[in-house]
Chain A
Amino acid sequence: MIALVDYGLGNIANLTNALEFLGYDVVLTHDLEELEQADQIILPGVGHFKDAMNRLNQLELIPVLNKLKEEKPFIGICLGMQLMFDYSEEGNVDGLGYLPGKVKKITGTLPVPHLGWNKLQATDSLLQQDVYFIHSFKVHTDENVVASASYDEDVVAIVQKDSLIGIQFHPEKSGDKGLEILNQALKGGFIK
């Protein structure tokens, strides 16, 4: 059973659809017991960083997530990945602090949001695919980067530290290849 953390932000329908299509059982929940019973935790999210942190706070989920990420595989997707870092400029607030790094607005000459299909750069051939990005803020970190994409400056696309995985793009919106990448993330990730 995979638990998708329900804290009231969008994107959850599509992730649920993709996971069910891959054959997983999914529960959308913020119930402590259900989260603890799950084999894996996914923190989804589309929206504003500060709004997301406020909602996690209001639902008293932060201590719960802090505990869960020590106990079982934990995957953050899109805003969910950004939340795992120390801090974001979007709302000028601290994140969950699971990984070292900061979230900053994308700058440069190209349009923002970074929106559309971009090719992943990675050593793993499974990851060398066009995937769908849609985000205005990006993670700045030197550690745990598994894949990136080129857009003015490089964009961190996948991070992994042990059983903690972050995916900036939308694997559930990246066609068949995206589903394969999502499945691999759930099967232990990308570190060989």
Chain B
Amino acid sequence: MIKKRIIPCLDVKEGRVVKGIQFKGLRDIGDPIDLAKRYNALGADELVFLDISATETGNALMIDVIRQTARELFIPMTIGGGLKSIADISAVLNAGADKVSLNSAALNNPSLINETSEKFGAQCICIAIDAKWEENEQDWYCYTHGGKKKTAVRTLDWIKEVEERGAGELLVTSMDYDGMQQGFDHKLLSLIQQTVSIPVIASGGAGSAEHFAELFVATDVSAGLAASIFHDEDVSIQEVKELCESKGVRMRHV
């Protein structure tokens, strides 16, 4: 049977890995290729690179990072951040990405999902969603631009739309839980997982190995993603996998 995936996420800015705390206040962590190699050796099932550079130089550096990483690592790699066109997506896939993750560009131009899914196959189109609970409206809404800009799009509407348009996977970040290290947002993630039939990657809130085990026991999501706890070595991937297996969750071992 299929294994649950543990995915370290590397936010890359101008060719260096950084991680925002609730999307604010970035700090430098390191060289993406070194980190990618470290995670591969430690048993990461996949890597996600999010390019948060806002410059052309940064995007070009990202292509180099993908190319170099793909020469040395033979596990799946998803690239997101700033991809706006078929040409952008083509460039990262040709450099060695296996999947692309689209967020703001998909919300701004939903037909991009149809076009890219038809051209490259649904399986390499992952739609990233930054979702935030609105107390006044009693509902979740999608945010763009790295969580800075609220849209009028309800998260639960959007996930159905992107699936219909040909998305192959969802990467859902709960902005309410992100950076809090109190566990994943089971309520949101369960709702989403039950609404769509494509795989869901859970993101936002992991602070311990227990949080991954709780996620996989409480919900049917396919993968759990985290950044800072792995970068800071607060928790090892091995520890996460052993704990999950002790709760009956199937994991891959290297």
A positions within 8 Å CB-CB of B: 10-14, 17-18, 20-21, 46-48, 51, 79, 110-119, 130, 132-136, 150-151, 170, 172-176, 178-179
Contacts and interface: CB of A to CB of B under 8 A. Distances in A.
Given A79-B121, A115-B222, A136-B122, A13 B74 contact: no
B21 to A, nearest CB: 29
A116 B74 contact: no
Contacts of B119: 47-48, 51
A115 B123 contact: yes
Contacts of B200: 111
B2 interface: yes
Contacts of A21: 71, 74
B95 A113 contact: no
Contacts of B169: 113, 115
21 contacts: A11-B98, A13-B94, A20-B71, A48-B118, A110-B2, A111-B197, A111-B198, A113-B123, A114-B2, A115-B169, A115-B199, A116-B2, A116-B4, A116-B223, A117-B2, A118-B3, A119-B3, A132-B76, A136-B122, A173-B98, A179-B74
A79 B40 CA distance: 26
B2 A175 contact: no
A113 B198 contact: yes
Contacts of A116: 2-5, 45, 199, 222-223
Nearest to B45: A117
Closest 9 pairs between A and B when the two form their complex, measured CB to CB: A10-B93, A111-B199, A47-B121, A117-B252, A130-B252, A113-B123, A13-B96, A117-B3, A134-B123
What interface size band does chain B fall in?
35 or more
B1 to A, nearest CB: 6
B1 A118 contact: yes
A48 B114 CA distance: 12
A40 B31 CA distance: 37
Nearest to A110: B2
Given A17-B96, A130-B252, 16 more contacts: A13-B67, A13-B94, A13-B96, A112-B198, A114-B2, A115-B168, A116-B222, A134-B76, A134-B98, A134-B99, A134-B168, A151-B2, A170-B76, A173-B74, A173-B98, A178-B74
Contacts of B118: 48, 51
A17 B199 CA distance: 27
Q: Which of B4, B45, B76 has most A Cβ within 10 Å?
A: B76
Given A47-B119, A119-B1, A134-B76, A10 B124 contact: yes
Contacts of A119: 1, 3
A14 B98 CA distance: 8
Interface string B104-132: 00000000000000111111100000000
A5 to B, nearest CB: 16
Nearest to B89: A10
B61 interface: no
Interface in B135-175: 168-169
Nearest to A108: B197
B254 interface: yes
Contacts of A20: 71
A151 B222 CA distance: 13
Given A10-B94, A13-B70, A48-B119, A173 B2 contact: no
Nearest to A91: B118
B75 interface: yes
Nearest to A45: B121
A179 B72 CA distance: 12
Contacts of A174: 74-75
Contacts of A179: 74
Nearest to B5: A116
Contacts of B198: 111-113
